[in-house]
């Protein structure tokens, strides 16, 4: 990519899109196109078509999606399916209609079967049944991958699809009902510490294992792929290691300085037992993550205290 390329970052205010925007700006890219939801509704086909026709971006990063944790996915399958299909169909088809040179579609590690081999190679896609707690989101993302591959096969488009593992970092959703586990436990631990409580509730058994990648590492990988990867085959973007939810909760409590008890609420679902990506493909190309989990949690905690809960930070 050239620093003057017009790059449309769809979803530039989200966790992933804002990190990619920060990365590109720091690297000297000066022609970034950003539109928030009020300016451009990505689920509106004609609005997206008109926007592309007017702006004619050179490159598109499709980081816009309806996302959420295990509860939000289970509670709102219609929205997770429909909104994501609409957004990606509109953006990808408008990119093709307006000669976008390269498009990066962001998928997710939940596209893989519930009982995929661990670590999960890219070849596991569509080899088995999905985890039911997030199958609506997964099916939308799989449709996005297939659409990018179809444009590559039928029209020779250079649309690439990256599958990031569970992401965390500044700009995450810390709302307890909608969020993923890492920001939820971080906010619970801070709240328990601040209010002098001796107990913190963790959903499920604590036994599932998850892989966590700092979103700045993911952004770095995306820019690396935009510059170095031109295949319609999906590519995993992960940290390369995972931990149990119990270990994650203990690590977060340690970083936060909360030394109370953990209790496990078995009425909440565990979801998929393990979701560790095989990252050998991107490693062979020359990319590796740089931010250790403990360090990433500590900096995310600082960001949260500065941006979300001044009342907590002051205590």
Give catalytic residues, as residue numbers: 137
Residue 196: CB minimum distance to ligand GDP, A: 20
* Beta-bridge mates of residue 264: 202
Among 19, 245, 293, 297, binds ligand GDP (CB under 6 A): 245
Among 70, 213, 219, 226, binds ligand GDP (CB under 6 A): 70
Pull the structure tokens for residue 152. 């590559």
**Cα angle at 187 between 119 and 200, to 5 degrees?**
85
- Please report the DSSP string for 83-100 in residue order: HHHHHHHHHHHHHHHTT-
Query: Which residues ranging from 177 to 236 are in contact with ligand GDP (CB under 6 A)?
Result: 179-181, 184-185, 202-204, 208, 210
Complex with ligand GDP: residue 143 or 176, whichever CB lies closer: 176
Complex with ligand GDP: residue 57 or 240, whichever CB lies closer: 240
Complex with ligand GDP: residue 40 or 120, whichever CB lies closer: 120
Q: Which residues contact 307 (CB under 8 A, 6 or more apart)?
A: 170
Residue 210: CB minimum distance to ligand GDP, A: 5
- Burial of residue 16, with CB atoms counted within 10 A of its CB: 0-12 exposed, 13-18 middle, 19 or more buried: buried
CA distance 16 to 6: 19
- The site for ligand GDP, by CB under 6 A, has a size of 20
How far is it between the farthest Cα atoms of the chain? Answer: 61
Q: How many CA atoms lie within 13 A of 275 on its CB side?
A: 28
Query: Which residues ranging from 252 to 311 are in contact with ligand GDP (CB under 6 A)?
Result: 268-271
Residue 47: CB minimum distance to ligand GDP, A: 30
Interface ranges with ligand GDP (CB under 6 A): 69-70, 110, 134, 166, 179-181, 184-185, 202-204, 208, 210, 245, 268-271
């Amino acid at each position: 990519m050239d620093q003057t390329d017009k790059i449309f970052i769809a979803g530039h205010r989200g966790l992933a899109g804002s990190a990619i925007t920060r990365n590109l700006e720091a690297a000297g890219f000066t022609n970034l196109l950003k539109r928030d939801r009020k300016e451009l509704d990505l689920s509106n086909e004609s609005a997206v078509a008109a926007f592309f026709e007017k702006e004619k971006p050179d490159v598109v990063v499709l980081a816009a999606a309806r996302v959420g944790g295990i509860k939000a996915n289970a509670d709102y399958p219609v929205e997770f399916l429909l909104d994501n299909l609409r957004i990606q169909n509109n953006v990808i088809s408008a990119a093709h209609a307006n000669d976008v040179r390269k498009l990066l579609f962001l998928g997710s590690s939940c596209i893989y079967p519930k009982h995929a081999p661990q670590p999960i190679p890219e070849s596991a896609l569509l080899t088995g049944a999905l985890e039911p707690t997030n199958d609506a989101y997964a099916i939308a993302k799989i449709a996005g991958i297939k659409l990018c591959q179809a444009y590559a096969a039928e029209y020779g488009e250079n649309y690439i699809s990256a599958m990031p593992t569970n992401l965390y970092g500044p700009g995450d959703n810390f709302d307890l009902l909608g969020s993923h586990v890492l920001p939820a436990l971080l906010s619970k631990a801070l709240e328990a510490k601040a209010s002098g409580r001796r107990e913190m509730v963790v959903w499920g058994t604590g036994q599932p294992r998850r892989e966590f990648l700092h979103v700045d590492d993911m952004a770095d990988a995306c820019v690396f792929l935009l510059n170095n990867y031109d295949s319609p085959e999906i590519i995993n973007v992960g940290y390369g290691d995972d931990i149990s939810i119990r270990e994650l909760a203990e690590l977060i409590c340690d970083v936060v300085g909360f030394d109370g008890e953990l209790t496990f609420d078995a009425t909440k679902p565990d979801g998929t037992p393990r979701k560790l990506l095989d990252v050998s493909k991107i490693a062979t190309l020359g990319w590796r993550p740089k931010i250790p989990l403990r360090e990433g949690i500590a900096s995310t905690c600082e960001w949260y205290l500065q941006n979300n809960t001044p009342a907590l930070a002051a205590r």
